[in-house]
Amino acid sequence: MDGEADFMRRALELAEFGRGRVMPNPPVGCVLVRDGEIVAEGWHDHIGGLHAEQMAIAEAEVRGVPTLGTTAYITLEPCNHFGRTPPCTEALLWAGVSHVVVGAADPNPTVRGGGTETLRSGGVNVEEGLLVDECEEQMHEFMHWCRTRRPHVLLKAAIDAHGRIDGDPALPAERFSSEASLGLVHELRADSMAILVGINTVIRDNPSLTVRGPDIGPRDSPLRVVIDPNCRVPGDSELLVDGAAPTLLVHCTDPGAIDDAPHVERMVLTDDDGELPVSRILDMLGDRGIQSLLVEGGADTWRRFLAEEAVDRAHLCRSPSTLSGDSDLKFDEDELSDAGLRCVSTIDVDGDEVSHWKR
């Protein structure tokens, strides 16, 4: 490798191995370098496992590679507190690492500045800000939550060739996206701490909202959130009976005494004339530590989030198929752009046009 930026880019590559498996922690990568060569690598692989710095040091030990005097390139400021593992600052000092290059500072109030200050106090030369934009982008949900105490919101929508989102209401809901596009949806779910739908989607589609395919390791399944102001959720809905993931029903009226399954929780939030403000929902989820929220539908829910400028990014799948019937339920790209989002990429996924949007 030619220089410091290349070492940090390798650390960014390594961090991706932990994507979807380390929440609520962010993905982090680390390389140890001596004389311009990488001698050990590490990443945070799963929640409760070694952090990136600790894995790199452990790899060096196993291979008999001395760490004294090495330089560590780390995508995020090392932690300086006891959590599921001891502080990474202690591991770096114990290993005799003499120089640490950090990509992004940790904005978490429990860590802010403590990692670099501790290392400097221990005689380590510390540099900060190498490829900071790339490092923050990789962990943007974590950064967003630390700075706003609200989850980062990703809107996911699928439409047919004419912008329709549903077929004949007298028939069962149709699945019209390609299998490859559905696979992308499960990747989005795996990368989310919560998945939200409105009550109309539950009644119409009876979804399970689970992650199928991607390996999320030992972390909890994403929380399933249903916005159900007037307690209309059917008792036999998959979300209530399958026990597959924790489920939160948000009401604005008291549902009374209901014998729900252990995985189901109900919460009553104050309303504005029978509607639950998106801001109040986001504050509640942020207080619960939810950093990333996938809003899957339906159209009324999308529009409420867009109207409150609460959508940070969007994933829109336009299928070449045409849904049956003459339903006028539609959604299209103009609604995203009108809400202040811009299209940053478009890809073909087995015939589906998938566009990605950012604020």
Same-domain check for residues 222 and 285: yes
Same-domain check for residues 347 and 219: yes
What is the band of 113 on the pLDDT scale with cuts at 50, 70, 90?
Answer: low
Q: How far is CA 196 from CA 116, 210, 235, 250, in A?
A: 37, 11, 18, 10
Same-domain check for residues 177 and 228: yes
Same-domain check for residues 221 and 326: yes
Same-domain check for residues 67 and 159: no
Average pLDDT, stretch 282-304? 96
DSSP string, 273-294: TTB--HHHHHHHHHHTT--EEE
Neighbour count for residue 94 (Cβ, 10 Å): 12
Helix pair 88-95, 52-62: axis angle to 10 deg: 30
Which of 129, 144, 159 is where one domain is finished?
144
Same-domain check for residues 34 and 168: no
Which of 92, 125, 144 is where one domain is finished?
144
Mean pLDDT score of the chain: 94
Same-domain check for residues 281 and 350: yes
Same-domain check for residues 250 and 159: yes
Same-domain check for residues 53 and 117: yes
Q: How far is CA 107 from CA 72, 104, 161, 234, 243, in A?
A: 20, 9, 43, 42, 35
* Whole-number Å distance between alpha carbons of 57 and 156: 40
Which of 144, 166, 193 is where one domain is finished?
144
Same-domain check for residues 171 and 316: yes
Same-domain check for residues 125 and 197: no
Residue entry with tokens 């609520």: 24
Same-domain check for residues 337 and 264: yes
Q: What digits encode the pLDDT tens for the residues 251-289?
A: 999 998 899 999 999 999 987 777 789 999 999 999 999
Average pLDDT, stretch 32-42? 97
Q: What digits encode the pLDDT tens for the residues 223-232?
A: 999 999 999 9
Q: Write down the pTM of the prediction.
A: 0.94
Average pLDDT, stretch 107-118? 77
pLDDT above 70: percentage of residues in the chain: 97
Counting the structural domains of the chain, the total is 2
Average pLDDT, stretch 201-219? 95
Q: Residues 4, 41, 53, 265: which is the catalytic one?
A: 53
CATH number, domain with residue 54: 3.40.140.10
Q: Starting from the edge strand earliest in sequence, which strands make up the sheet with 194-198, in order?
A: 264-268, 247-251, 223-227, 194-198, 292-297, 152-159, 313-318, 352-358, 342-349
Q: How far is CA 132 from CA 3, 115, 205, in A?
A: 16, 16, 42
* Whole-number Å distance between alpha carbons of 196 and 199: 10
Query: Would you report the helix, strand and coil content of the chain in percent, each value rounded to 5?
Result: 30, 25, 45
Give strand pairing partners of 37: 34
Q: Are 165 and 302 in contact (CB under 8 A)?
A: no
SS3 135: helix
Judge if the upstream peptide bond of residue 129 is cis by omega within 30 degrees of 0: no
CATH number, domain with residue 331: 3.40.430.10
List the domain range (segments joined by +) for residue 250: 150-358
Question: What's the angle, vertex CA 309, arms to CA 307 and CA 313, rounded to 5?
Answer: 115
Active site (annotated) includes residue 77: no
